[in-house]
């Protein structure tokens, strides 16, 4: 079962359940564990909940196809898990989420720098300048927008679903709350939310992430490649003695 799976679909918003099933089915087809839309859809649904799934919570073939296209590049290239490189399975999986982002364009007023991948690498570089030792923080900086390649309308939740057990709880919290921190900087959020973030032991980090996110929108800024960014984080993981090949909790879906 997936980590955090619910006991019944009535406990989960239908749209959120639909997105989870859709992305799970796309993963199954991308890895060629399923070649049929119907089989992939039901296998993904069973991995999330054993209860009856209402028809409106099941994604269409077209929705699964669109999610599948986000997992591959325009040339049909995927990052295989057995490519013989020295990268860990986690690095390869995260790279497969990052690479398609160079085809996801953003609003030119708020993001004059261009595509989501370029923005994400800028945020990573800025994060490395302020906290070069902090693996969780740097992962959050690099991965905070991966959901924009899956579901731009709800990119934070989509990204967290896709990242699953490949990130720590701390990285998850930073990604989940970076938008809230942005709104605090803008003065568009109430005191209760402001106090909640201020009480966190990572209040300084979330403020730094929000600032890096805001500053990482400069056209022409020099950045490293996504491969180099993940390699740097991998070295930090080795130095910290972490095991970066996290084993997914469900054998069907590698979340």
Domains and CATH numbers, the chain: 1-71 (no CATH), 76-239 (1.10.3210.10)
CB atoms within 10 A of CB 57: 21
pLDDT in tens, 63-111: 887 777 666 543 344 444 444 454 577 888 898 889 888 888 777 887 8
Burial category of 137 from C-beta neighbours within 10 Å (exposed 0-12, middle 13-18, buried 19 and up): buried
Q: What is the pTM of this model?
A: 0.64
Whether pLDDT at 140 is above 80 = yes
Query: What is the overall mean pLDDT for the chain?
Result: 78
Say if CB 1 and CB 253 are below 8 A apart.
Answer: no
What's CA 31's distance to the chain center, in Å? 18
Say if CB 146 and CB 123 are below 8 A apart.
Answer: no
């Amino acid at each position: 079962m997936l980590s955090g799976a619910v006991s019944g679909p009535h406990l989960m918003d239908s749209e959120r359940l639909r997105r989870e099933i859709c992305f799970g089915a796309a993963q199954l087809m991308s890895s060629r564990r399923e070649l049929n839309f119907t089989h992939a859809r039901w296998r993904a649904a069973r991995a999330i909940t054993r209860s009856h799934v209402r028809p409106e919570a099941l994604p269409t073939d077209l929705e699964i196809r669109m999610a599948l296209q986000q997992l591959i590049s325009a040339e049909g290239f995927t990052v295989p898990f057995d490519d013989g490189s020295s990268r860990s399975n986690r690095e390869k999986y995260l790279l497969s989420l990052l690479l398609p982002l160079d085809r996801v364009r953003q609003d030119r007023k708020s993001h004059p720098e261009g595509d989501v991948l370029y923005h994400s690498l800028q945020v990573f570089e800025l994060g490395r300048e302020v906290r070069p030792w902090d693996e969780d923080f740097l992962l959050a900086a690099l991965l905070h927008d991966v959901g924009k390649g899956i579901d731009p309308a709800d990119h934070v939740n989509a990204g967290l679903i896709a990242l699953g057990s490949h990130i720590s709880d701390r990285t998850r919290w930073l990604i989940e709350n970076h938008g809230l921190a942005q709104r605090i900087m803008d003065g568009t959020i109430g005191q209760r939310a402001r106090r909640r973030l201020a009480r966190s032991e990572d209040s300084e980090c979330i403020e730094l992430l929000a600032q890096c996110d805001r500053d990482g929108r400069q056209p022409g800024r020099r950045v490293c490649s996504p491969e180099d960014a993940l390699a740097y984080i991998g070295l930090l993981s080795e130095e910290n003695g972490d095991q970066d090949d996290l084993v997914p909790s469900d054998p069907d879906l590698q979340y």
